[in-house]
Amino acid sequence: MADRRRRDQAVVRALLDAHGRTYAEDAGIRLRDTPQPLYQLLVLSVLLSARIRGAAAVGAARELFAAGLRDPRRMAGASWQQRVDALGRGGYRRYDERTSTQLGDGAELVEREYGGDLRRLREAAGDDDRALRGLLQEVPGLGPTGSDIFLREVQRVWPDLAPRLGEKALQGARRLGLPDDPKELVRLAGDADPAALAAALVRAALDKTIAQELTAEPDGS
């Protein structure tokens, strides 16, 4: 049992060292508990929830933000074509037209219902996790997968939500031969950021080569 735990701890440490960055960090979002970065994370979550490569979603988010569409007022005020063009520059071409509409409608909803501040959405949900998910899923393009992504990443600045890994992260844990109990995974990670742990496990679920690298037997030569 002790040997297995040491092995699991070593795998988790190696995973975090190699892949322990959040998707928000990849997209250049300096996540804080303030309106603009929270909205940017919402946009990224919408983009990541489509059946498209994560790199394309991250690239599209970067292009949208580089075009100045960093808050709901500017996103809603941009033309549909401006959003399409930014998504295309990021490589987000398969879903660009539909997603442009969703981003515009979602920005209007966030402005109308929450004054552009997603902290008000959280306040409206109170301590009810189901209500929080439900309110997030009212945002166009943000279904169960997207709400999981948002909550998984936002736990860095909303720590009372932690630990939150999600089913995709648990798939990654199973691929690595780790326990799929969220509390045990957090214990194995020690004082690591749960958001970074979740993102690293998601990457392991999406990329089988990560598991091959981390679980390969050492070369005895």
For the question of whether the overall pTM of this predicted structure is more than 0.85, the answer is yes
Both structure tokens of 86: 């930014």
CA dist., res. 160 & res. 149, Å (int): 16
Q: Given this model, what pLDDT does residue 66 score?
A: 98
Mean pLDDT of 95-100: 93
CA dist., res. 108 & res. 73, Å (int): 8
CA dist., res. 137 & res. 11, Å (int): 34
Mean pLDDT of 76-82: 97
CA dist., res. 135 & res. 32, Å (int): 20
Model confidence pLDDT, tens digit, residues 135-193: 999 999 999 999 999 999 999 999 999 899 989 999 999 999 999 899 999 999 998 99
Q: Given this model, what pLDDT does residue 221 score?
A: 37
Is there a contact between 66 and 101 (Cβ–Cβ < 8 Å)? no
Q: What's the residue count for the chain? A: 221
What band does 216 get if pLDDT is binned at 50, 70 and 90? low
The pLDDT mean for the chain works out to: 93
Long-range contacts of 165-171 (CB under 8 A, 24+ apart): 165/194, 165/197, 165/198, 165/201, 166/198, 166/202, 168/201, 168/202, 168/205, 168/206, 169/197, 169/198, 169/201, 169/202, 169/205, 170/201, 171/205
Q: Given this model, what pLDDT does residue 2 score?
A: 76
Q: Given this model, what pLDDT does residue 220 score?
A: 45
Residue 94 vs residue 58, higher pLDDT: 58
Q: Given this model, what pLDDT does residue 217 score?
A: 56
